[in-house]
Amino acid sequence: MAGRHGAKQRGLDILCVSQFTLYGKLTKKNQPDYKAAMKAIPAKAMYENFLELLRSQYETDKIHDGVFGAMMDVALVNDGPVTIVIDSDALPSSTPPIIE
Domain that holds residue 26: 7-65
In a domain, 17, yes or no: yes
Mean pLDDT value across residues 30-55: 86
- Whether 47 and 20 have beta carbons less than 8 Å apart is answered as yes
In a domain, 29, yes or no: yes
The pTM score is 0.61
pLDDT digits (tens, 9 = 90+) for 46-80: 889 999 999 999 999 999 998 887 887 877 666 66
Return the top range by mean pLDDT from 37-46, 58-67, 91-100: 58-67
Query: Interior CA angle at 49 toward 44 and 52, to 5°?
Result: 125
Of 94 and 62, the structure prediction assigns the larger pLDDT to: 62
Q: List the catalytic residues.
A: 21
pLDDT digits (tens, 9 = 90+) for 6-25: 888 889 999 888 875 566 77
Cα separation of 74 and 15, whole Å? Answer: 10
Confidence (pLDDT) at 69: 78
Reported for 91-99, long-range contacts at CB under 8 A and 24+ positions apart, including other chains, are none
Radius of gyration of the chain (CA): 18
**Which candidate, 48, 16, 20, places its Cα nearest to that of 35?**
20
- Whether 15 and 64 have beta carbons less than 8 Å apart is answered as yes
In a domain, 83, yes or no: no
Count up the domains in the chain and report the number: 1
